Amino acid sequence: MPTAANKNDLTEKKDSRYVIAALVENKYGVLARVSGLFMRRGFNIDSLTVGETENPEYSRITITLHGDEYIREQLIKQLKKLINVKYVEELEEHESVERELMLVKVKNTSENRSDIMAATEIYRAKIIDYNPDTLCIEVTGEPLKINAFIDVLKPLGIIELCRTGVVALERHGEIST
């Protein structure tokens, strides 16, 4: 029978966040096979970003998800089985660098403009479009920073936002291609 400590460990593991990086051949249909894997296995991902690497023959897929150890292990195993997947690794939080980009459109009124400008400065964001009714702001940083910036802007009138999803690199080491 699980003890109270074990139950807490299980709960904590169930809510764990994982960042998985996969180096894949830059070929037609690879992304469809990877996303199909999520659908078939019932994995719910938080974000999926894809982009060409320094070598145009390869793309890097960065996947973030919440789940337990079993889901993490299954995702890595299933990714490694896919044709055109060259390398798969889990990026540890303290051994990697994560960034995300967000564009957010907010109401521009004389009442909220100074608050928006102050928040933009504090979060090192940038106003990239200005018109009498709206401001469009760009912010880059760790997902927690992006979430905090959203919380600050909500009462000021968010009209629309979009996020890129996480991109991440290991702080050290090399991937052989």
Would residue 173 count as lying in a domain? no
Do residues 15 and 83 share a domain?
Answer: yes
Would residue 175 count as lying in a domain? no
Would residue 177 count as lying in a domain? no
The amino acid at residue 51 is: G
Would residue 86 count as lying in a domain? yes
* Residue pLDDT, tens place only, 56-95: 999 999 999 988 888 899 899 999 999 999 999 999 988 9
Of 33, 63, 90, the residue at which a domain comes to its end is 90
Give Cβ neighbours of residue 53 (< 8 Å, ≥ 6 apart). Answer: 23, 59, 60
Could you give the CA distance from residue 134 to residue 25 in angstroms, rounded to a whole number?
41
The tokens describing 133, both together, are 């009714």
Predicted confidence at residue 173, as pLDDT, reads 66
What percent of the chain is modeled with pLDDT above 70? Answer: 89
Arithmetic mean of pLDDT, 18-35:
92
Predicted confidence at residue 44, as pLDDT, reads 81
Of 90, 120, 141, the residue at which a domain comes to its end is 90
Residue 8 pLDDT greater than 90, yes or no: no
* Residue pLDDT, tens place only, 121-163: 999 999 999 999 999 999 999 999 999 999 999 999 999 999 9
Do residues 83 and 159 share a domain?
Answer: no
* Residue pLDDT, tens place only, 92-123: 988 999 999 999 999 999 999 999 999 999 99
Residue 53 pLDDT greater than 90, yes or no: yes
Do residues 74 and 148 share a domain?
Answer: no
Residue 154 CA: distances (Å) to CA of 97, 112, 161, 165: 27, 11, 11, 20
Do residues 78 and 17 share a domain?
Answer: yes
Do residues 43 and 111 share a domain?
Answer: no
In this prediction the pTM is 0.79
Residue 1 pLDDT greater than 70, yes or no: no
Predicted confidence at residue 109, as pLDDT, reads 95
Host domain of residue 130 = 96-167
The Cβ-side half-sphere exposure at 39, using a 13 Å CA radius, reads 6
Could you give the CA distance from residue 20 to residue 71 in angstroms, rounded to a whole number?
12
Could you give the CA distance from residue 87 to residue 152 in angstroms, rounded to a whole number?
39
CATH number at residue 11: 3.30.70.260
Could you give the CA distance from residue 3 to residue 36 in angstroms, rounded to a whole number?
38
Q: Exposure pattern of 71-88 as b/e (b: 16+ CB <10 Å)?
A: bbeebbebbeeeebbeeb
Secondary structure letter of residue 107 according to DSSP: E
Q: Count up the domains in the chain and report the number.
A: 2
